Amino acid sequence: MSSLSLQWPSETLWSQIEPLWPGFSVEVQPELTSTNTVLMERAREGHLQPTLLVAERQTAGRGRLGRHWAPSTPGQALTFSMGVPLGSGDLSGLSLMVGCCVAASLDPQHRQELRIKWPNDLWYHQRKLVGILVEVCLVGQERYVVVGVGINIAAVGALPPPEPGRPAPQPPACVQEWEPDATAPGILARVAPALAQALAQFARAGFAPWQARFAARDALAGQAVWLSDGSVGTACGVSERGGLRVRIEQPGVAPAVREVLSDEISVRPLPPSGGRILSTDASA
């Protein structure tokens, strides 16, 4: 079995997080298919302990709507999943809370103006920096939630050429653009304890306490957006349960505000010309 390429703060993370989540464990692997996939498979087998699973390299990383990402070299991206039992509370808005938590860990003073693109991406200068994937496993009366996070640390190599007739994809953003000395282990040391604490708070109070924090980083607020069902409208924040509020205007019909849930539809901002923006997704 191959050895780890980087030095990870496993013991420190365990000591910080275990008091919040008794029985917590930290596991770092040199290579996995997908940290989310592994924790979900374990949960289905009845292993529901709170766990932080880190992979230096993922060979089959996954994102929302079944998207798959190309593997990165160790240190180029931080890919991890945190699995915790979250009881029976409402999970609406969980991915937005995770986005708020990660953004605050990377940019606590809002100096980099990191923005959260509903429902599960973090943007830096209109380019994807972080991908988030939340999955749930029900085992009898137990509910286990797996939160996967992929953060681009260093710049990727050359992007593949665009498909015929399609615009070239934007290169993803990376943390080293504003923090040249950033490393995957160093970023994990900042993000993981904050996420563990935020998940414990979410279990008690849901998304409502995070609504204002999301609004301060909302990438879509006031922007024209295109919904995958063909509707076009203007994004106007999120509800207390994390649904995107979109003001739909159609000729001859009174404007109406529609609440869009993340499991129903995908959303893309519209540039001024009305065309669709295509971007390259970060590892997740």
Question: 254 vs 275, which has greater pLDDT?
Answer: 254
In the sheet that holds 267-269, the strands lie side by side as: 253-260, 244-250, 232-238, 224-227, 267-269
Say if residue 23 is in the same domain as residue 41. Answer: yes
Residue 277 has pLDDT above 70, yes or no: no
Report the percentage of the chain scoring pLDDT > 70: 85
Residues 125, 176: one domain? yes
Over the stretch 25-73, which tens digit does the pLDDT of each residue have?
999 999 999 999 999 999 999 999 999 999 999 998 765 444 545 556 8
- Give the whole-angstrom CA distance, residue 284 versus residue 75: 14
73-77, 96-100, 265-269, range with greatest mean pLDDT: 96-100
Domain tally for the chain?
Answer: 2
Residue 246 is assigned to a structural domain of this protein: yes
Co-location of 193 and 242 in the same domain: no
Could you write out the DSSP letters of every residue in 75-115?
Answer: TTEEEEEEEEE-TTS--TTHHHHHHHHHHHHH-TTSSS--E
Please check whether residue 108 lies inside any domain of the structure: yes
Which of these three, 193, 215, 237, is where a domain ends?
215
In a domain, residue 119? The reply is yes
pLDDT of residue 268: 73
| Predicted local distance difference test score (pLDDT) of residue 279 | 30
The pLDDT mean for the chain works out to 88
Lowest mean pLDDT among 8-12, 60-64, 238-242, 253-257: 60-64
Domain containing 31 — which CATH number?
Answer: 3.30.930.10
pTM for this prediction: 0.87
Q: How many CA atoms lie within 13 A of 135 on its CB side?
A: 25
For the segment 213-231, what is each residue's pLDDT rounded down to a tens digit? 999 999 999 999 888 888 8
